[in-house]
Amino acid sequence: MANVTLRSVRKTYPGGFEAIKGVDVDVGDGQFCVLVGPSGCGKSTLLRMVAGLETVTGGEIDIGGRVVNGIEPADRDIAMVFQNYALYPHMSVYNNMAYGLRNRGMAEAEIKTRVEEAARVLELSSMLERKPRQLSGGQRQRVAMGRAIVRQPKVFLFDEPLSNLDAKLRIAMRVEIRKLQRRLNTTSIYVTHDQLEAMTLADILVVMNGGQVEQVGNPLDIYEKPATTFVASFIGAPPMNLMSTRPEEIRSQLAGSNAADAGILGIRPEDFVITDDVPAGGVALPLTVEAIERVGAETFVYGSREQEDQRVAATPGELPPGEVIVRIPGTQAPAIGAKIRVAAARAKLHLFSDDGRKRLEA
């Protein structure tokens, strides 16, 4: 039972590279916090700093009311699940889970109770005598979880624990992790680059980019009100369509609002409808259909705008300039090459400042 508070945490490597540029995050007791961002954004470094595997060069990390900056990982009362599981290859499943407890001098009877309880929860009871190499990826993953659970720590740390699993297993384990965390009610910090994992798991979502926090908040709030164009295009798949407001075509439609100051307009693919009507205050775009992806429940339409758009601030998952994705129900599918008109209501528009760093209310 513990809060985790990061106060202007910094990490500068000896070579002068600044990996973490001052991060403030407050994870409440029992909450599930997800750090998400593209590779190299510093999310794993930040997690490893909480674990004590990386030194902190500035700021404070506070776990359960105790500043842990100078404390050894073993004494921080945390447990970590690694991306490649990091199971001890020469130890049985039982010993893998029991090792940390033995090092703490716990009585063998108590260890047995805890390991067997964890094994029961994780459905590993029949495999306690096996070695990690005799287990499948999903089972290894569960052993790694078991090793964390038996410690009954104040905080669980997950470093991309699902990225080595296949897609189907990943979804199943994702649900498992969430259920387990709810039941144990242990504060957790989870690192991932997968925005879907982030959205589904998080109580608090921290979107990171370039060693800084872009936005912190409830996942749905972040989805609905992304603070920057980076967040807008990182959260949500397919990504939000971002376009400059400079072309006359768009500027005229936005006239009469504070949108005049906006440099970038964002519209999510799912907020478009194919229609010839222009909703009052909304935006309509004529498109030529370039490609179609039908995935059953929905159809993605890739259309190009008539006018070439100028490039908008670089973001992950960015579309080529002038291309727009529209997400429509699976029953519909315009023909390739067709000219269509798509429109989005005023309430669905996202407006950002010229540099994409500031959200403006429409």
Partner 1 sequence: MVEEEGFRRYVAHIILWIGIAIVAFPVYLAFVASTQDNAVIANGQMSLLPGGHFFQTYYQTIFVGTSGSTREPVGNMMLNSLVMALLIAVGKIAISIISAYAIVYFRFPFRMPIFWLIFVTLMLPVEVRIYPTYKIVADLHMLDSYAGLSLPLIASATATLLFRQFFMTVPDELLEASRIDGAGPFRFFWDTLLPLSRTNMAALFVILFILGWNQYLWPLLITTRDDMQTIQIGIRKMITTTDALTEWPIVMATAVLAMLPPVLVVVVMQKLFVRGLVETEK
Q: Is 361 in the site for partner 1 (CB under 8 A)?
A: no
Q: Is 346 helix (H, G, I), strand (E, B) or coil?
A: helix
Residue 164, amino acid = N
| Interacting residues of 336 by C-beta distance below 8 A, sequence separation 6+ | 289, 290, 291, 292
* Residue 99 in the binding site for partner 1 (CB under 8 A): yes
What does the alpha-carbon distance between residue 225 and residue 207 come to, in Å, rounded to a whole number? 13
**CB atoms < 10 A from the CB of 238, how many?**
17
Q: Provide the residue type at 54 as one letter.
A: E
Which of 34, 41, 49, 80 is the binder for partner 1 (CB under 8 A)? Answer: 80
Q: Sign of dihedral through CA atoms 302, 304, 305, 306?
A: negative
Query: Among 16, 70, 103, 335, which residue sits at the site for partner 1 (rule: CB under 8 A)?
Result: 103
By CB under 8 A, which span of 25-33, 46-54, 248-256, 324-332 interacts with partner 1?
46-54
Of the pair 64, 100, the CB lying nearest partner 1 is at: 100
52 part of the interface to partner 1, by CB under 8 A: yes
Interface region with partner 1, contact rule CB under 8 A, candidates 19-27, 34-42, 79-87, 259-267: 79-87
> Could you give the 3-state DSSP secondary structure of residue 242?
strand
Q: Number of residues interacting with partner 1: please give it, by CB under 8 A.
A: 23
The CB-of-134 to partner 1 minimum distance in angstroms stands at 13
For residue 325, give every residue at least 6 positions away whose Cβ sits within 8 Å of its Cβ, in sequence order, or none: 238, 239, 241, 269, 300, 301, 302, 303, 319
Told to check if 78 binds partner 1 by CB under 8 A, we report yes
Token digits of residue 327: 């997400």
Interaction between residue 133 and partner 1 (CB under 8 A): yes
φ/ψ region of 64 (left if φ > 0, alpha if ψ in -120 to 50, else beta) reads left
CB of 100 vs partner 1, minimal distance in Å: 3
- Give me the least distance between CB of 47 and partner 1, in Å please: 11
**One residue of 24, 29, 66, 104 binding partner 1 per CB under 8 A:** 104
Beta strands across the sheet bearing 298-305: 273-274, 339-344, 283-294, 298-305, 323-329
134 contributes a contact to partner 1 by CB under 8 A = no
Q: Does 73 bind partner 1 (CB under 8 A)?
A: yes
Bridge-based pairing of strands 58-63 and 4-12 is antiparallel
Choice between 97 and 313, CB closer to partner 1: 97
> Site for partner 1 (CB under 8 A): which residue of 18, 53, 300, 333?
53
Which of 67, 74 has the CB closer to partner 1? 74
CB nearer to partner 1: give 100 or 334. Answer: 100
> Nearer Cβ to partner 1, position 87 or 243?
87
Beta bridge partners of 328: 299
The answer to whether the beta carbons of residues 131 and 92 sit under 8 Å apart is yes
Q: Which of 83, 63, 65 is nearest to 73 (CA)?
A: 63
Q: For binding to partner 1 (CB under 8 A), which residues are involved?
A: 51-53, 72-74, 78-80, 82-84, 86-90, 99-100, 103-104, 133, 147
